[in-house]
Every structure is written in C-alpha cells, then in structure tokens.
Amino acid sequence: MIRLMTIADYDEVFDLWINTKGIGLRSLDDSIEGIAHFLERNPNTSYVSEVDNKIVGVILSGNDGRRGYIYHMVVGEKYRKQGIATELIDAAVKALKAEGITRVCLNVLESNEQGKQFWNKRGWNKLDTLGFYSKGITDKENTFLIKPF
C-alpha cells in the first residue's frame, strides 16, 4: 500500500536510505530539517510504500514550478521486483502532473548500473548534451554522509 510521505516518516525513511547502496545522502539536505523543508514546499508528491505498517519503499519528489524532480527512490532489498517502485513512480508522476508539471528530472550516480538500467528501461533518457552543474551556497557543512560512489 502506498501513501503520501510526511515528516513523521523521517526516521524509517532515513533508515532505508542510509542502508541502501547507490544513494547520495548529504548531512544538511537529508537531515530532518532538510527533508521537512522539502515536504513543506512539496506536500503532495512524495510517497512511501508500507507492508505490515513498515515502510519498505520511498520516493521523494517535488517541483520548483517548472520541472519536477525525483530523489532517493529506494525499495528495501527483500521487497524488490514486486512492482513497488513502479507504483511509487506512477503516483509521484501523477501528482506532479496534477500540479501542472510537464517534465520530470532525476540524477543517478554514474556508478549505479542497476539504477541506470531501471530508468533507461522505462524511457527515462540520459541527456548527453547537458552537464549537471552545482554549487554549494551555504557556509554550513553539507557533506556526503557515506561515500556514495
């Protein structure tokens, strides 16, 4: 069963993220304050999947008024290949569409072969014509919690 994610889910979701290879977690962005900030701005587009009241899958998704973004999609190892991620993506995309969004973007670590294959198979294309640029604009520490690559 899937439902909207709220900040009350943070501990369980973080536990899933930190125990999954291929997910880049940052000390500031992925702190409870960081995720609360994201969910306040995007309350209707992130989902969790539950089995026996336990969170086994998550998709963090939101938009900036122009593009939709998907982050940190994880399904617990024991629960994979049952269609849970597909259900989470469908729900997030539907919710983004309802907010007027026409294109959704995501990042996959270059080293995450399984993740890259997963998205490719579903028609999500890597844009070879674009480079992804970013710059930290805080004085606070926002380092990777575990080396993701």
Interface ranges with ligand COA (CB under 6 A): 20, 22-23, 73-75, 80-86, 108, 112, 114-115, 118, 121
**Taking the complex as a whole, how short is the minimal distance between the CB of residue 73 and ligand COA, in angstroms?**
5
**At what angle are helices 32-41 and 10-18 packed, to 10 degrees?**
110
Complex with ligand COA: residue 88 or 95, whichever CB lies closer? 88
Complex with ligand COA: residue 22 or 34, whichever CB lies closer? 22
**Taking the complex as a whole, how short is the minimal distance between the CB of residue 101 and ligand COA, in angstroms?**
18
List the one residue out of 69, 68, 62, 79 whose CA is nearest residue 2: 79
**Taking the complex as a whole, how short is the minimal distance between the CB of residue 65 and ligand COA, in angstroms?**
23
Residue 65 carries which side chain, given as an amino acid letter?
Answer: G
* Cβ-defined contacts of 40-43 (< 8 Å, 24+): 43/4
The answer to whether 1 and 117 are in contact (CB under 8 A) is: no
Complex with ligand COA: residue 132 or 139, whichever CB lies closer? 132
Complex with ligand COA: residue 48 or 74, whichever CB lies closer? 74
Radius of gyration of the chain (CA): 15
**Taking the complex as a whole, how short is the minimal distance between the CB of residue 16 and ligand COA, in angstroms?**
9
Alpha-carbon distance 82 to 100, whole Å?
30
